[in-house]
Chains A and B, each alone.
Chain A
Amino acid sequence: MLAELGNFSLIMALMVAILLSVYPMWGAYKGHQKMMAMAKPLAIGMFLFTAFAYFCLTYAFVHDDFSVAYVANTSNSTLPIHYKYTAVWGGHEGSFLLWTLILCVWTLAVALFSKAIPVKVLARVLAILGMVGIGFYLFMLLTSNPFDRLLPFYPIDGKDLNPLLQDFGMIIHPPMLYMGYVGFSVAFAFAIAALISGQLDSTWARWSRPWTLAAWSFLTVGVALGSWWAYYELGWGGWWFWDPSENAAFMPWIIGTALVHSLAVTEKRKVFKSWTVFLAIAAFSLSLLGTFLIRSGVLVSVHSFASDPSRGLFILGLLVVIIGGSLFLYALRASQIKSNGRYGLVSREVFLMGNNIFLTAATLVVLLGTLFPLVHKELGMGSISIGAPFFDQMFTYLIVPFVLLLGIGPLSRWKNQSLQALSKQIMIALGLSLSAGLLVNAGFEQSTYMADLGLVMSFWVIITTVMEVRQRIEQQVTAGKYSTWQSLQKLTASHWGMVLGHLGFAVTLIGITLVSAYNTERNVRMAEGDSVNLQGYEFVFKGISQLQGPNYSADVAHVDVYQNSQLVSTLKAEKRFYPVQRNVMTEAGIDSGFSRDLFVALGEQLKNGDWSLRIYVKPFINWIWAGAFIMAIGGVFSISDKRYRMGNLARTASSAKENPKNLMEQAS
């Protein structure tokens, strides 16, 4: 019964979405106040109907309603309860419902928290979000309805959730990632609204900047969580595989990074306007393209659980309408945009544009690498696969000039920067980072040149970031306005956002460099009591025990790790057998630390009773994800900058600036 209500609720949501995309848009065109005012209640309605549909599906999961086809395919009565909640998005249909629900959440948030934005603009933005919604409701209702029944012959028990997804990381990774993916729809909607109205001044950049930053922060966390999950759950010990699905999430992230920076330039300096609009369209288009690539089955990937041409065709149709339509509009309108700011050849604008170009180039590399196998095949040249080496090599080339500009950009002034003053700072920063990087790397045994390069680049980012803050403060202090401490406090939240973003990037870079260069691994055959030495750690195999989980049985390998004859850690690596899907899964035993991870994965039992084990010592691997979280926190800092709320909350801004959560309450 509830499944039918859910289905009905989805249809209602579609109807509301249609109204939302027609009335406010028409109202904005005609200047009709009442029609425009309908945008907000309609956005709320769309959210409520979708949320109810989502609730119905969750209810079906929790109550093991296997007459619903989707539940029967992705759940099982023995599945632990918390995974029943997450199994809602463990398959194709449900993941689209989550996608749509998140679109509604963003739409609702825009409707509620945009009091400073003119009614006309807001009406257009919400209408565009409604149009995107229509596409996805139709997709669900016509090709992948999560509420389809298996009546009258329904199974007694379900086929179970893919064991890979029965994991803590899966509880938070998809919602975070989708928050990011779908969040770019807001920046997209603002850009399209600006294109429609023809008012492409810097105000639209200011309005869409906090939304873009929010989406980017979510995406950063989502991608990092995905990478972390792959690391500990897949048991291969790697953290990035250049799998098409990873690429699909990485492309919007890179373009999103470019967009966040370009928006800042457009807002502050009123230049790069048409470029910023293009990036806003591109970020969301790449999110949609990623959805298509993964969900249509054109590419072979671990994430492709639906391979049905009719679904693929439908998403392709959506791409044509949304991306094609917006690029067409862009072509019509962008040529009329005039950027009226002026800047010299050596200026922050130019450095930022340089990095935008490198980020775009990086996106193109990923896009080409992902699509090339497809194009190659369609041209009749056969299937090939493009592996990690291609991407790694290209990224190694791109990152050096990118990091160089990343350091110089913040140090230089807007408009015009004296080359002499800048080159002095560059020399100091270069000297410091060279010596710091080489010195640190010399501390490792068998140091490699690649690690030298990576560390020097990381220190370069850190040192230039610190120099930039120092330079800011010095200006204030020498002007005699404030003391050092006061001027530190005077730095805006968005400035701290930038500082954290760049430092986070450096932390990630350090992690990538060190784990790539000094990762050590051994594949060993071990009998009980055997030990193996790796990087000064002694791994002692204590034996195997049996374990009975809720919906699996497992062999557990116990490994004690000693350093200088002192016990540092006891690791448990499991090999689980899930009987419903007849799947074997490895659950690695990991001891995570600040400067290294100890990683043990259990392999097969050999004929003579020995076991094969894979043992890794991974230096500084946690820094990769820690850096991503620092970047995301930087994003949050930037959003909390009070200047985004000057109009709507002038009265409360001073009391709310430290606490963005508090502010949300006030705004609602």
Chain B
Amino acid sequence: MKKFMIFLLPLVVFLGVLAFLYQGLFSDPREHESTLLEQSMPEFVLPDLMETQKSYSQTIFEGKVTLLNVWGVWCVTCAVELPYLQQLKQDGKHIVGLYYDQDIDPDFGIKTVARVQQEVKDKLAQLGNPYAFNIFDVKRDLSLDLGVTGAPETFLIDQTGKIRLHHIGDINPRVWNSKFAPIYNKLVAN
């Protein structure tokens, strides 16, 4: 009997996977929900991605309503959302990138900063640059403090530097209108 249970295991695992596959069929691959707690922006001191001698801290978010977008060139979904972010930028939104890189290069070995910069330049040249500037999360501490689980994720930060919204996944017109726009418009109106 015990032996039988072991051989039953593959079937059980398969049925588990099946449940997710079934659900997956009926949901839009780009849809997502998330509700993380409102927090104030954690403290940090991090360099600019392109000009590493320049550094930023949490105070840069004061005075403006900001969209902080966590992204990386390795992230497929980020590439999908870049064009829409650009549209948001053209509508006058202030978008800051939090660049999240992986410590191991896809092609083995440690990456140089120059290499990362080059990759980012290529990507943005190809798909457009929505960012006012990019903060380089060198050791990914800030992402950790922010509770980032993957990329892309976007935080809506108000004029006092408080996080008002945390969105996991890409931003598209639907997400913007249903989730971001109400809060954003209220913040700007103040």
A59 to chain B, nearest CB (A): 35
Contact B25 A331 (CB under 8 A): no
Which of B3-11, B37-45, B46-54, B130-138 lies at the binding interface?
B3-11
B153 to chain A, nearest CB (A): 8
Contact A516 B107 (CB under 8 A): yes
A interface size (C-beta, 8 A): 57
Chain A residues in 8 Å Cβ range of B14: 285, 323-324, 327
Contact A517 B109 (CB under 8 A): yes
Contact B25 A382 (CB under 8 A): no
Given contacts A374-B20, A381-B149, contact A519 B107 (CB under 8 A): yes
Contact A384 B168 (CB under 8 A): yes
A451 at the interface (CB under 8 A from B): yes
A552 to chain B, nearest CB (A): 21
Which of B61-69, B73-81, B86-94, B180-188 lies at the binding interface?
B73-81
Chain B minimum-CB-distance residue to A299: B29
Interface of chain A residues 601 through 646 with chain B (CB within 8 A): 612, 614
- Chain A 287-309, CB-CB to B under 8 Å as 1, else 0, gives 00000100011111000000001
Chain A residues in 8 Å Cβ range of B169: 377, 382-384
Contact B20 A517 (CB under 8 A): no
Given contacts A381-B168, A517-B108, contact A298 B29 (CB under 8 A): yes
B interface size (C-beta, 8 A): 50
A271 to chain B, nearest CB (A): 16
Chain A residues in 8 Å Cβ range of B74: 387-389
Contact A374 B24 (CB under 8 A): yes
Chain A minimum-CB-distance residue to B9: A331
B34 interface neighbour in A313, A374, A381, A454, Cβ under 8 Å: A381
Chain B minimum-CB-distance residue to A390: B102
Contact A375 B20 (CB under 8 A): yes
Contact A371 B20 (CB under 8 A): yes
Q: How far is the CA of A312 from the CA of B26 in the complex (A)?
A: 9
Interface of chain B residues 73 through 117 with chain A (CB within 8 A): 74-78, 80, 102, 104, 106-109
A423 at the interface (CB under 8 A from B): no
- Chain A 527-543, CB-CB to B under 8 Å as 1, else 0, gives 00000000000000000
Contact A378 B20 (CB under 8 A): yes
Contact A513 B21 (CB under 8 A): no
A454 interface neighbour in B3, B29, B108, B150, Cβ under 8 Å: B108
B15 at the interface (CB under 8 A from A): yes
B151 to chain A, nearest CB (A): 7
Chain A residues in 8 Å Cβ range of B8: 331
B106 to chain A, nearest CB (A): 4
Interface of chain A residues 311 through 332 with chain B (CB within 8 A): 312-313, 316, 319-320, 323-324, 327-328, 330-331
B137 to chain A, nearest CB (A): 14
Contact A387 B76 (CB under 8 A): yes
A392 interface neighbour in B15, B76, B104, Cβ under 8 Å: B104
B118 at the interface (CB under 8 A from A): yes
Contact A335 B104 (CB under 8 A): no
Contact A382 B32 (CB under 8 A): yes
A396 at the interface (CB under 8 A from B): yes
B164 at the interface (CB under 8 A from A): no
Chain B residues in 8 Å Cβ range of A81: none
B127 at the interface (CB under 8 A from A): no
B161 at the interface (CB under 8 A from A): no
Contact A377 B150 (CB under 8 A): no
Contact A392 B27 (CB under 8 A): no
A327 interface neighbour in B10, B29, B107, B109, Cβ under 8 Å: B10
Chain B residues in 8 Å Cβ range of A418: none
Contact A517 B107 (CB under 8 A): yes
Contact A392 B106 (CB under 8 A): yes
Which A residues fall within an 8 A CB radius of B? 274, 278, 281-282, 285, 292, 296-300, 309, 312-313, 316, 319-320, 323-324, 327-328, 330-331, 334-335, 371, 374-378, 380-389, 392-393, 396, 448-451, 454, 513, 515-517, 519, 523, 612, 614
Closest 3 CB pairs of A and B: A382-B168, A384-B150, A389-B102
23 pairs of residues in contact across A and B, judged by CB atoms under 8 Å: A296-B24, A296-B25, A298-B29, A300-B76, A300-B80, A319-B21, A323-B14, A331-B11, A376-B150, A377-B31, A378-B23, A382-B32, A382-B169, A383-B31, A384-B77, A384-B151, A385-B76, A385-B77, A385-B78, A386-B150, A387-B74, A388-B106, A393-B104
A309-B25, A316-B22 are known; give 13 further A-B pairs, CB within 8 A.
Answer: A300-B29, A327-B10, A335-B4, A377-B29, A378-B24, A382-B149, A382-B169, A383-B30, A383-B31, A385-B78, A387-B72, A387-B102, A612-B125
